[in-house]
Amino acid sequence: MEHPHRAGGPAEGERSPVAEIIAIGSELLTPQRLDTNSLFLTSQLNALGVAVTAKHVVGDDRARLASAIQTAVERSEYVFLSGGLGPTEDDVTREAAAAALGRTLEFSAAQEQILIQRFAQIRRPMAENNRRQVYLVAGAEALPNPHGTAPGQVCRTVRGALFLLPGPPREFKAMVADQVVPRLRAELPPRVIRVRSFRVTGMGESQLDALIAPVYSKYQNPSTTVLSSLGDLWVNLYAQCDTEAEAEALLREVGDPIAELLGDRVYSTCADDTLELVVGRLLRERKATVATAESCTGGLVAARLTEYAGSSDFFVASFVTYSDAQKQSLLGVPREMIAQHTAVSEPVAKAMCVAAQQKTGATYALSTTGYAGPEGGTEENPVGTVFIGLATPSAAHVTKLIYGMDRARIRTLAVQTALDLLRRELLAL
Amino acid sequence: MEHPHRAGGPAEGERSPVAEIIAIGSELLTPQRLDTNSLFLTSQLNALGVAVTAKHVVGDDRARLASAIQTAVERSEYVFLSGGLGPTEDDVTREAAAAALGRTLEFSAAQEQILIQRFAQIRRPMAENNRRQVYLVAGAEALPNPHGTAPGQVCRTVRGALFLLPGPPREFKAMVADQVVPRLRAELPPRVIRVRSFRVTGMGESQLDALIAPVYSKYQNPSTTVLSSLGDLWVNLYAQCDTEAEAEALLREVGDPIAELLGDRVYSTCADDTLELVVGRLLRERKATVATAESCTGGLVAARLTEYAGSSDFFVASFVTYSDAQKQSLLGVPREMIAQHTAVSEPVAKAMCVAAQQKTGATYALSTTGYAGPEGGTEENPVGTVFIGLATPSAAHVTKLIYGMDRARIRTLAVQTALDLLRRELLAL
């Protein structure tokens, strides 16, 4: 279940102004390319209280583009075009925008002068086709482009405005930041936006949603999003109000009951935290260290623990012992124990974490042993069974989990669970 | 190189069938997320001779989505929806598709049975809201989804077909490959399509493109795509012809000079191979084994080597020794060596791989030690410096690399380079 539940912008019911973004270029319709300009623009628009309600990618096809622009300006206050402002025949954005608005294109002598100066500055001859770039949609205001040859344009429309912006990301970003945002800020009502985040592990997305949807779904403001990747969930509440106090009050009203429902499954309320960052921080605060002894996770627990700079403060060492022989020789797991219980068993998981702890002198040690599949497994412990051991200064516990999934997901979830077991131990939960 | 090289599909002037893709989900309209499903689908459609003429992202808004679907099915033969098939109130794709086609939604008892069995299999209770997922657009055919709870659907339209596909990439990809492609192949005019692939490592994308573009850019058929992720490149040539012999001849004409130019940087000509699969296969064929001793890569080399089932045939064990003390105690790296050369040095990398080889009895051992940053490094060995050791039955070599990048990319590239060094050793390159 990968999909979340509610857009980050203001709720549409309020009918705040909304935006659509159209990226232009046949190369954006190939298997290799994605429009990424829209991400930066979306973040800037959301901060101004404008939600993006649709994004489109259209090829270098004038008629198709004109029709897409026309539909968009009819239903959305702000429409942004990116790309297709270059000097070649394939660059059809100016013509399509003029056609969509029923206007003509007009030669701008002022823009021509700017372009001539620009080419003089970079000491390159201006090609004849660059003159295509100094035509403006009738009534449009030109937006300076210090990073390229194509000026942007903004045309007032019945509902709001249509922006023509250059496609190259550097030019696009600068024009959004320097030209678009100040113009929108001047015409939009001032709003305060506050966010409250919960990073959650130990439950699935549908389980989380069943738990908290009864709370958040009653509110359009704050709006709620739930993002999820395997074993990791991210709940964000966005409040948009006239004052900071109002926004904070709304976030308490909706966020406090959610916090209560989620309880200690919330591993952080910082949007940018990850589980390994939180675990590392807890270890560092306690001047504690960790080691791992991994079988089915093949080094992934260690890799997560060393993901961030400074992990040498708390991460000591790891053993990846894949075979029975290596469990014996590197970790001293007794041969008879493996013979009696198999390598995927509670006693072996316990012996592994205790050995890692003792051999490295770490405060804590995590171990994993399981059947990641697709082969292996027994009647009692089928594929997907993972034993996770945790040695603490006073004891060693083993948790048995069964994941009904494929190899990659079993490994990922086992790593996440191991890290969460350590987090809970460190917080005495 | 941000621009791609050639669209795979036929030119639009021919008016072969065309496709539009609509990704659904308010989260895809936030600054954090992009629709990436469309890339895989586009590559599959292009290979069938179908060009994508527009892509859209629409939020979880039934009316807006219905209108987008209606416009798309009116002008394009194939329309693909991804996402919004989940069990919650926000999942509006089924309703919107029915509304756009002027049909009703019908409860499918057969699909309900499949869902009940699926939940039994994964040993989780089925929530009441999962029942929303077994409604089909009237007249639609259900498409099985072995990886998730939402069945796909395909509805015939006046011009062609409308596909409802799940949003999670794993489910989406499998359904496109297993359900969509065979159906389209059956109804599209037969074309012989042959693909020739090169999986490449050890060079950057722009370097690769400068090398091979002079060859492939002279041809529209075969069309060429270059996909890249960090340290891993993927060149595909697609030939579309009337006969198999013609297609094979074209692939030889263009592919042979490319193969020559790329030389032994090609690690596989199987599209689905990965570097770790190739390395594992080479080890298995030679009845050889491998161990690792990792510092800056923190277990990631071991994790890659154990990514696939059956890796216990050749992967023995790994030591992740992050601190100087652990390099001494677990691997026996002499304290004086570290004092004299620092832990990030050629002698320490060599001592680490040799120790891993000796302690585990593996045929080969890889080691990594480096400054992944952002802190650390010396004048001689700045952040980004990584020493990679490889112990073979007869000797131990160390390779020094300097990557001018951030921590995550340094780690990823170091892992890729380590695996490639082992591949080259195994092939005596």
How high is the ipTM of this complex?
0.73
| Bigger pLDDT: A427 vs A16 | A427
Identity of the residue in A306, A321, A373 whose CB atom sits nearest the CB atom of B309: A373
A19: nearest CA in chain B? B29
Collect all residues of chain B within an 8 Å Cβ-Cβ radius of residue A68: 54
Tell me the shortest Cα–Cα distance from B277 to chain A, in angstroms.
14
Nearest to B27 among A33, A225, A321 (CB): A225
pLDDT tens, position by position, A313-340: 999 999 999 999 999 999 999 999 999 9
Share of chain A above pLDDT 90, in %: 68
**What mean pLDDT comes out for the span A404-427?**
91
- Every domain range in chain B assigned CATH 3.90.950.20: 275-426
How far is Cα B105 from Cα B108, in angstroms, rounded to an integer? 9
Contacts of B168 in chain A (CB under 8 A): 1-3
In the prediction, which pLDDT does B32 show? 75
- Say if residue A352's pLDDT is above 90: yes
3-state secondary structure chain B: CCCCCCCCCCCHHHCCCEEEEEEECHHHHCCCCCCCHHHHHHHHHHHCCCEEEEEEEECCCHHHHHHHHHHHHHHCCEEEEECCCCCCCCCCHHHHHHHHHCCCEEECHHHHHHHHHHHHHCCCCCCHHHHHHHEEECCCEEECCCCCCCCEEEEECCCCEEEEECCCHHHHHHHHHHHHHHHHHHHCCCCEEEEEEEEECCCCHHHHHHHHHHHHCCCCCCEEEEEEECCEEEEEEEEEECCHHHHHHHHHHHHHHHHHHHHHHEEECCCCCCHHHHHHHHHHHCCCCEEEEECCCCCHHHHHHCCCCCHHHCEEEEEEECCHHHHHHHHCCCHHHHHHHCCCCHHHHHHHHHHHHHHHCCCEEEEEEECCCCCCCCCCCCCCEEEEEEECCCCEEEEEEECCCCHHHHHHHHHHHHHHHHHHHHCCC
Q: Do B317 and A323 touch (CB under 8 A)?
A: yes
| CB-based contacts of A237, cutoff 8 Å, min separation 6 | A195, A196, A197, A216, A222, A223, A224, A251, A254, A255, A258
- Chain A neighbors of B298, CB-CB under 8 A: 299, 302-303, 305-307, 311, 315, 318
Amino acid symbol at B326:
Q
d(CA A54, CA A76) in angstroms, rounded, equals: 9
Nearest CB among B87, B227, B300 relative to A303 is that of B300
Interface of A with B in 52-81 (CB under 8 A): 52-59, 61, 64, 68, 71
In sequence order, the β-bridge partners of residue B399 are: B388
Q: Nearest residue on chain A to B82, judged by CA atoms? A: A3
Query: Strand pairing of B396-402 and B385-391?
Result: antiparallel
* B285 backbone φψ class: left, alpha, beta (φ>0; ψ -120 to 50): alpha
Report yes or no: B399 and B327 within 8 Å, Cβ to Cβ.
no
Using CB atoms, which residue from A27, A64, A217 is nearest to B54?
A: A64
Query: Measured between CA atoms, how close is B279 to chain A, in angstroms?
Result: 16
Quick check: A372 contacting B, CB < 8 Å?
Answer: yes
The residue written with tokens 């696939």 in the block is: B308
- Architecture label for domain A275-426: Alpha-Beta Complex (3.90)
Torsion of CA A9, A12, A15, A21, to 10 degrees: 60
CB B351 within 8 A of CB A332: no
Measured between CA atoms, the residue of chain B closest to residue A324 is B316
Sheet holding A141-143, edge to edge: A141-143, A152-156, A161-165, A78-82, A18-24, A51-58, B51-58, B18-24, B78-82, B161-165, B152-156, B141-143
Residue B97, chain A, CB below 8 Å: the answer is no
Model pLDDT, residue A378: 86
Q: B40 contacts in A (CB within 8 Å)?
A: 31
Span between the terminal Cα atoms of chain B, in Å: 29
Put simply, the answer to whether A303 touches B307 (Cβ < 8 Å) is no
Closest CA to A302 of A290, A310, A313, A286: A290
Q: How many beta-carbon pairs below 8 A join chains A and B?
A: 263
Give the Cα separation of B66 and B353 in Å (integer): 60
Q: Do A316 and B326 touch (CB under 8 A)?
A: yes
Q: Does B407 touch chain A (CB under 8 A)?
A: yes
Return residue ranges of chain B for CATH 3.30.70.2860.
192-268
Tokens describing residue A93: 């954005």
Question: Shortest Cα distance from A109 to chain B (angstroms)?
Answer: 32
Min distance A400 CA to chain B CA atoms (Å): 15
Q: Residue A306 — pLDDT band, cuts 50, 70, 90?
A: very high
Sort out which chain A residues have CB atoms less than 8 A from B320's CB and list them: 292, 299, 302, 306, 317-320
Nearest CA in chain B to A207: B127
A18-187 to CATH, choices 2.30.30.90, 3.40.50.720, 3.30.365.10, 3.40.980.10: 3.40.980.10
User: Which positions 263-282 of A are in contact with B (Cβ < 8 Å)?
Assistant: none
Q: Which of A3, A58, A322 sits opposite B27 (nearest CB)?
A: A3
> What's the pLDDT tens digit per position in A380-400?
888 889 999 999 999 999 999
Checking if the pLDDT of A53 tops 60, the result is: yes
CA nearest A415 in B: which residue? Answer: B303
Give the separation between CA B25 and CA B41, rounded to whole angstroms: 18
For residue A128, give how far its alpha carbon lies from the nearest alpha carbon of chain B (Å). 24
Q: Which of residues 217-236 of B touch A (CB under 8 A)?
A: 225-227
Cβ neighbours for B335, distance < 8 A, ≥ 6 positions apart: B324, B328
A14 touches chain B (CB under 8 A): no
Question: Does residue A89 carry a pLDDT above 80?
Answer: no
> In a mutagenesis test of the A interface, which of B30, B67, B321, B363 is the best target, namely the one with the most A β-carbons within 10 Å?
B30
Stretch(es) of chain B classified as CATH 3.40.980.10: 12-187
Q: Does B87 touch chain A (CB under 8 A)?
A: yes
Q: Taking the CB of residue A189, how many other CB atoms lie within 10 A of it?
A: 9
φ, ψ of residue A54 in degrees (nearest 5)? -160, 150
Contact A227, A4 (CB under 8 A): yes
Give the mean pLDDT of A40-51.
88
Query: In chain A, whose CA is at the least distance from the CA of B316?
Result: A322
Q: Give the highest mean pLDDT range of A148-152, A190-194, A308-312, B420-424.
A: B420-424
CB proximity A29 to B under 8 Å: yes
Select the residue of B42, B64, B316 nearest A31 (Cβ to Cβ): B42
- B12-187 folds as Molybdenum Cofactor Biosythetic Enzyme; Chain A (3.40.980)
Could you read off the pLDDT tens digit of each residue along chain B, which spans 429 residues? 233 333 333 333 445 799 999 999 988 998 878 899 999 999 899 888 898 999 999 999 999 999 999 999 999 999 999 999 988 878 999 999 999 999 999 999 999 999 898 888 777 778 788 888 899 999 999 999 988 888 999 999 999 999 999 999 989 999 999 999 999 999 988 777 788 999 999 988 778 888 998 999 888 888 887 777 788 998 989 888 888 899 999 999 999 999 999 999 999 999 889 999 999 999 999 999 999 999 999 999 999 999 998 999 999 999 999 999 999 999 999 999 999 999 999 999 999 999 999 999 999 999 999 998 788 888 888 888 999 999 999 999 999 998 877 788 889 999 999 999 999 999 998
CA distance A117 to A139: 24
- B125, with CB counted inside 10 A (0-12, 13-18, 19+), is exposed
CB spacing of A307 vs B298 below 8 angstroms: yes
Does residue A246 contact residue A192 with C-beta atoms inside 8 Å?
Answer: yes
CATH code of the domain occupying B192-268: 3.30.70.2860
Pairing of strands A223-229, A232-241: antiparallel
Q: Write the secondary structure of chain A as one string of H (helix), E (strand) and C (coil).
A: CCCCCCCCCCCHHHCCCEEEEEEECHHHHCCCCCCCHHHHHHHHHHHCCCEEEEEEEECCCHHHHHHHHHHHHHHCCEEEEECCCCCCCCCCHHHHHHHHHCCCEEECHHHHHHHHHHHHHCCCCCCHHHHHHHEEECCCEEECCCCCCCCEEEEECCCCEEEEECCCHHHHHHHHHHHHHHHHHHHCCCCEEEEEEEEECCCCHHHHHHHHHHHHCCCCCCEEEEEEECCEEEEEEEEEECCHHHHHHHHHHHHHHHHHHHHHHEEECCCCCCHHHHHHHHHHHCCCCEEEEECCCCCHHHHHHCCCCCHHHCEEEEEEECCHHHHHHHHCCCHHHHHHHCCCCHHHHHHHHHHHHHHHCCCEEEEEEECCCCCCCCCCCCCCEEEEEEECCCCEEEEEEECCCCHHHHHHHHHHHHHHHHHHHHCCC
Q: Which of A2, A32, A300 sits opposite B168 (nearest CB)?
A: A2
Q: Does B298 touch chain A (CB under 8 A)?
A: yes
pLDDT score, position B15: 59
Handedness of CA B184, B187, B188, B191 (dihedral sign): positive
For B119, nearest residue in chain A (alpha carbons): A404
pLDDT digits (tens, 9 = 90+) for A162-186: 999 999 888 999 999 999 999 999 9
Tell me the shortest Cα–Cα distance from A349 to chain B, in angstroms. Answer: 16
Instruction: Please tell me the distance in Å from B390's CA to the nearest CA on chain A.
Output: 18
- Structural tokens at position B86: 């989940």
Instruction: Report the C-alpha gap between B306 and B302 in whole angstroms.
Output: 6
CB contact under 8 A, B320 and A321: no
Dihedrals φ, ψ of A363, to 5°? -65, -40
Decide if A287 touches B, using CB distance below 8 A. no
